[in-house]
A = this chain, B = another copy of it.
C-alpha cells in the first residue's frame, strides 16, 4: 500500500492522489442497487494522458487492479471499486479540445460532461445527440464506457454511432490510437467500437473524436392516453411500420403515470394504463404529429393531446423525465432493468412485466424508450425487508429472462457491469464468452482492468 502510493506520486501530483479512507470510500460505487463494491486503496484524479500512463504502468508493475470512473451515474455497478484497487477517476480531464464545424467533429477529454459538450456544440449550430437521463452529470468517457443511449436514440442512434476515434491507455501503459477523424475509414479492425461499451475492462479512454450533427429544429410533441399497454405498444408498432421518424417515442405505464401525478400534480388522467409521448423535429412536425395521432386513435387511444409549441412540448416531456424521481417515492430502493426487445414484442414484454410484478408481489413501474423496444422496468422495494429484497432480485432476473425469451437483450443501454455478469454469459452463449474472454486477455493479460465487470 505504501509502495503503491509512493510509486504513484512519482508521476502524479499529490493533489491528484486521494488516500483518506473517508474520501476514497465515497468513490466506491455508482448508482446500481445490489452490485457489490469494495474499498479502494487510493483514488487518482489525473489531469494528463502522461499521468494516466504512469498510473497504468504502476498498476501493472505492482499488479494492482484499476477501476476507471466517470461521474458514477451508471446503473450496473461497472464503476464499483474492488478491495485494494486504484480508482482512476477521469473527471478532471474535462477539456473540450476542439469543435470543428466543417468536419462536424469534437475532440474531447473523457471527463467532459455530456451536457457541456452539447452546449458547446450548440454554439456552432451543431449537436451531440446521445442524451442519457443523467446528461447534466455523466461524462463522455462514461458514455463511451457504457455505450450510453437516451431519449433521442429512436431517431439518432446511440453513443457508438458517434465515436469516430479514441486514444486509449492500455493496461501496461502503452498508448493506442484507434479510428479516425474522417467521415469514413476501414483501415484494419474496428477497435474504436470494441472499446465503446467495454465498461473500462480493455483500456482507459483518454481522448475521443466524436461526430456532431447539425442541430435539428425544436421538437413538437404529443401525448396519447391508452386504456392498456397492449394498445400503446400496437400504436408504437404502427408508427414505426408506417415509416415515421419520431425524435422520441416514449412510454410510461399506469404505475409510473400515477407516481408522476402524485409527485408533480401534472393532472395526468389517473385511469390511464399507458401514456405515449411522441415528438418530431422534422420540417413539418405538426403534420407528422397529426399522422401519429390518427394511428394512436386507431390503436385505441382514449385521448390525444398535441402540444401547441416547443415550450408546451417541453412541459409534456417533463412528465417523462420525472418518472424515476416519482417512482423513487414509492419505495426506499429501486432496481432498474434495461431489457430491449424487438419492437414487435414490446406488448408481450409489458404484459410479462405485469405478470412478474403480480407473481412476486412487488410494484414494478415501467418507462420505456418504446420506439426502440427498450424498456426500463423499475422494481420498487425496501432493502430493510429481506423477503422483499430477495423477491426484488428474483423479479429483476425474471425480467431479463423474459427479454431473452422474446429475442431481446439484457441491456439496451445501461451495460452489464457487476450486476448482470451471470446474465451476460446466458445471452452470449459459451462460444461468445470464450471469444470475448480471449479478446480481454489480449488487451489486459493480467486481468487488472475493472475485474468483476462483464465476466
When distances are taken between beta carbons in the complex, the residues of chain B under 8 Å from A454 are: 188
When distances are taken between beta carbons in the complex, the residues of chain B under 8 Å from A178 are: 432
Q: How far is the CA of A296 from the CA of B237 in the complex (A)?
A: 42
Q: By the criterion CB–CB under 8 Å, are B104 and A240 in contact? A: yes
Other-chain residue from B183, B198, B215, B340 in contact with A373 (beta carbon distance below 8 A): B183
Asked whether A314 is an interface residue with its Cβ less than 8 Å from the other chain, the reply is no
- Per the CB 8 Å criterion, the residue count for chain A at the interface is 86
Other-chain residue from B435, B441, B442 in contact with A435 (beta carbon distance below 8 A): B442
A371 to chain B, nearest CB (A): 8
Q: How far is the CA of A414 from the CA of B184 in the complex (A)?
A: 11
Q: By the criterion CB–CB under 8 Å, are B191 and A436 in contact? A: yes
Q: How far is the CA of A427 from the CA of B183 in the complex (A)?
A: 16
A160-B190, A431-B170 given; A153·B185 CB < 8 A = no
Asked whether A38 is an interface residue with its Cβ less than 8 Å from the other chain, the reply is no
Which B-chain residue is minimally distant from A196 (CB atoms)? B190
Asked whether A20 is an interface residue with its Cβ less than 8 Å from the other chain, the reply is no
Which B-chain residue is minimally distant from A165 (CB atoms)? B409
Interface centre among A104, A190, A191, A245 (most CB of B within 10 A): A190
Other-chain residue from B181, B427, B439 in contact with A342 (beta carbon distance below 8 A): B181
When distances are taken between beta carbons in the complex, the residues of chain B under 8 Å from A440 are: 189
Residues facing B in A408-435 (CB within 8 A) are 408-416, 424, 427-429, 431-432, 435
A145 to chain B, nearest CB (A): 10
Asked whether A101 is an interface residue with its Cβ less than 8 Å from the other chain, the reply is yes
Asked whether A100 is an interface residue with its Cβ less than 8 Å from the other chain, the reply is yes
A126 to chain B, nearest CB (A): 8
Interface residues of A (CB under 8 A from B): 100-104, 125-126, 146-147, 149, 153-154, 157-158, 160-161, 170, 174-178, 180-191, 193-194, 196-198, 202, 214-215, 237, 240-241, 243-245, 282-284, 340-344, 369, 371-374, 407-416, 424, 427-429, 431-432, 435-436, 438-443, 454
Q: By the criterion CB–CB under 8 Å, are B146 and A186 in contact? A: yes
Q: How far is the CA of A227 from the CA of B65 in the complex (A)?
A: 61
When distances are taken between beta carbons in the complex, the residues of chain B under 8 Å from A369 are: 184
When distances are taken between beta carbons in the complex, the residues of chain B under 8 Å from A416 are: 186-188
Q: How far is the CA of A438 from the CA of B424 in the complex (A)?
A: 24
Q: By the criterion CB–CB under 8 Å, are B182 and A240 in contact? A: no
Q: How far is the CA of A214 from the CA of B246 in the complex (A)?
A: 12
Q: By the criterion CB–CB under 8 Å, are B185 and A412 in contact? A: yes
Q: By the criterion CB–CB under 8 Å, are B413 and A184 in contact? A: yes
Q: How far is the CA of A215 from the CA of B245 in the complex (A)?
A: 11
Q: By the criterion CB–CB under 8 Å, are A340 and B188 in contact? A: no
Other-chain residue from B177, B182, B187 in contact with A341 (beta carbon distance below 8 A): B182
Q: By the criterion CB–CB under 8 Å, are A103 and B344 in contact? A: yes
Q: By the criterion CB–CB under 8 Å, are A183 and B104 in contact? A: no
A217 to chain B, nearest CB (A): 11
When distances are taken between beta carbons in the complex, the residues of chain B under 8 Å from A431 are: 170, 174-177
When distances are taken between beta carbons in the complex, the residues of chain B under 8 Å from A438 are: 442-443
Other-chain residue from B176, B186, B410 in contact with A412 (beta carbon distance below 8 A): B186
A327 to chain B, nearest CB (A): 22
Other-chain residue from B158, B183, B341 in contact with A343 (beta carbon distance below 8 A): B183
Query: Would you list 17 pairs from A and B whose C-beta atoms are within 8 A, ordered by A residue?
Result: A101-B241, A102-B342, A103-B343, A104-B343, A146-B186, A147-B190, A154-B183, A175-B431, A182-B341, A182-B408, A182-B412, A183-B372, A183-B374, A184-B374, A184-B413, A187-B409, A193-B193
A187-B428, A342-B103, A409-B182 given; A215·B243 CB < 8 A = yes
The 7 closest A-B pairs by CB, nearest first: A214-B243, A193-B193, A438-B442, A147-B186, A183-B372, A185-B409, A184-B412
